[in-house]
């Protein structure tokens, strides 16, 4: 790879050290979550909390998690919801983003203003009307209901519009000359080139819906549909506010998120290489 020679690829040692320091600071909560999950609850209640790794080591929290929490069910439910939301959001975002970025059509600015307006509306204000809509469409207490009401394409539309805008128009013109239909231009040119945006949008949508505690709590009542964040809240409570056990459960809950992240990461890179070849 010749790539390493370009100066955007220049390694700046001071910058790198600063970045690492910043990240160490950012990691404190994660560090606490992980190591405290191996301690008895009262040793993390103490202030300042006892954070020496492996001191008072115990597996009692994990034992409690596997005995008393439906981890696998909650995880599965969260995955069903979040994966669907991620895919749907990315699809809607890229189609609309493509239209906004590369097609001239009447009313474009009005529609785009609507996209921005949904982005700006405080979600907390909309909880009640949103629930009314869901209730009247009989969407409450079902996966498809949560999925439909969680898809929030506005940020994705904006992001993919910004991304696709910067793709060279010549590519699309060339495809057209080659006899590509409108659909073909989207599927053969726009979509492959915007994979980094698709990856980014899916990841955000995935994580956002994975952590969407309040809405999932409001929408889902049936215990069989309980999701990870809702389960976490119940679990801590029925364990006498046992924070260490909660931390153990959320440590377990973080592992799949990390795996998903790493899997999606490859997606970004792939999109980038396509772009580079074409450029």
Partner 1 sequence: MNPKKQKYTPRERYKARWAYVFLAPWLLMFLIFYAYPLIYGTIVSFTNYTIGSMKWIGLENYRTIFTDYRFWRSLRATIFYMLIVMPLQVFVPLWIANTIQAYKRGFNTAVKLVAYIPGVTCSVALVLAWRFMLDPNIGFVTSFLKKIFGARFSPFNTASTAIPIIAVLIAFTNLGATLIIYSAALNAIPADYYEAAELDGATRWDQLTKITIPLLQPTIVYVFITSTIGALQIFVIPQLMTQGGPNFMTSTVLLLIYSAAFGDNKFGYASALGVILFLITAIFALIQFRITRRETVEY
Partner 2 sequence: MKKKLALLLAMILVVSMLGACGGAQGGGSAAPASSEAQAGEEVKLLIWHYADDGTEDAYKEMADAFHADNPNITIEYDVLPYDSGPEKVTIAYATNTPPDILIDGYSRIAPAVKAGLTVDIQDVIDANKDAFVAMQIDGKMDNGHFGYLQTSLSAAYGVLVNLDIAERCGVLDMLPADNLTWSWDTYLEMLRKVKEADPTVIPCDLFAGSRSSDAWYYSWFLGNGVPIANDDHSATGFNIGENRDKAIEVLELFKTFVDEGLVQEGCATMTDEQADTFFQSGQMMILHAGWNNTMNTYTNQQAGTCVPFKYGMYALPSKDGKEPPTTATWGSSGMAGFKANGHEEAIKTFFDWYLKHQQYPEKIANIMGSMSSLKEVKYSWPNDDIAKLMAIGTKYTAEKAISSFGILEPWWTEFRETFYPQMQDFYTGNIDAGQVLDNWQKAADEVIKKNTAG
Q: Which of residues 20-79 bind partner 2 (CB under 8 A)?
A: 40-42, 45-47, 60
Positions 74 through 113 that interact with partner 2 (CB under 8 A)? 106-107, 110
> Which has the closest alpha carbon to 93: 147, 161, 36?
161
Positions 28 through 57 that interact with partner 1 (CB under 8 A)? 28-33, 36, 44, 47-49, 51
Rounded Cα–Cα distance for residues 37 and 69 (Å) = 15
> Which has the closest alpha carbon to 97: 144, 156, 147, 175?
156
Retrieve residue 237's tokens.
Answer: 């409570």
Positions 65 through 104 that interact with partner 1 (CB under 8 A)? 91-93, 95-96, 98-99, 103-104
Rounded Cα–Cα distance for residues 173 and 104 (Å) = 14
Q: Is 274 in the site for partner 2 (CB under 8 A)?
A: no
Positions 139 through 198 that interact with partner 2 (CB under 8 A)? 140
Q: Any residues with CB less than 8 A from the CB of 137 and at least 6 apart, and which?
A: 145
- Contact segment (CB under 8 A) with partner 2 among 24-32, 127-135, 158-166, 249-257 equals 127-135
Token pair 């409690």 is found at 64
Token pair 């239909």 is found at 181
Peptide bond into 224 cis (omega under 30): no
Q: Is 259 in the site for partner 1 (CB under 8 A)?
A: no
* Options 22, 59, 174, 255; binder of partner 1; rule CB under 8 A: 22
230 binds, among partner 2, partner 1, none (CB under 5 to 8 A by kind): partner 2
State the nearest-atom distance from the C-beta of 240 to partner 2, in Å. 4
Q: Which helix (H) or strand (E) holds 261?
A: helix 243-278
> What is the maximal distance between C-alpha atoms in the chain?
71
Rounded Cα–Cα distance for residues 195 and 271 (Å) = 5
Q: Is 108 in the site for partner 1 (CB under 8 A)?
A: yes
Positions 195 through 254 that interact with partner 2 (CB under 8 A)? 213-214, 217-218, 221-223, 230, 233-234, 237-244
Retrieve residue 96's tokens.
Answer: 């609309």
148 binds, among partner 1, partner 2, none (CB under 5 to 8 A by kind): partner 1
Rounded Cα–Cα distance for residues 247 and 239 (Å) = 12
Positions 138 through 177 that interact with partner 1 (CB under 8 A)? 148-149, 151, 153-155, 157-159, 162-163, 165-169
Q: Which residues bind partner 2 (CB under 8 A)?
A: 40-42, 45-47, 60, 106-107, 110, 127-129, 131-133, 135-136, 140, 213-214, 217-218, 221-223, 230, 233-234, 237-244
């Amino acid at each position: 790879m010749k790539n390493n020679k370009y100066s955007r690829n220049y390694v700046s040692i001071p910058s790198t050290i600063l970045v690492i320091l910043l990240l160490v600071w950012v990691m404190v909560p994660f560090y606490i979550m992980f190591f405290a999950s191996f301690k008895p609850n009262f040793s993390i209640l103490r202030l300042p909390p006892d954070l020496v790794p492996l001191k008072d080591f115990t597996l009692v929290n994990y034992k409690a998690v596997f005995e008393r929490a439906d981890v696998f069910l909650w995880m599965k439910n969260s995955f069903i919801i979040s994966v669907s939301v991620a895919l749907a959001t990315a699809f809607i975002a890229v189609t609309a983003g493509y239209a906004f970025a590369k097609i001239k059509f009447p009313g474009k600015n009005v529609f785009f203003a609507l996209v921005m307006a949904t982005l700006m509306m405080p979600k907390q204000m909309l909880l009640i009307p949103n629930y009314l809509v869901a209730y009247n469409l009989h969407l409450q207490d079902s996966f498809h209901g949560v999925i439909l009401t969680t898809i929030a394409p506005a940020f994705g539309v904006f992001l993919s519009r910004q991304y696709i805008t910067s793709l060279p128009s010549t590519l699309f013109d060339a495809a057209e000359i080659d006899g590509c239909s409108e659909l073909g231009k989207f599927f053969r040119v726009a979509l492959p080139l915007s994979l980094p945006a698709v990856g980014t949008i899916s990841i955000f949508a995935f994580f956002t819906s994975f952590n969407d505690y309040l809405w999932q709590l409001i929408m889902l009542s049936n215990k069989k549909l309980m999701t990870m964040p809702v389960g976490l809240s119940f679990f801590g409570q029925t364990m006498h506010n046992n924070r260490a056990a909660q931390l153990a459960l959320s440590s377990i809950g973080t592992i799949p998120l990390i795996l998903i992240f790493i899997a999606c990461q490859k997606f970004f890179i792939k999109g980038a290489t396509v772009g580079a070849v074409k450029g």
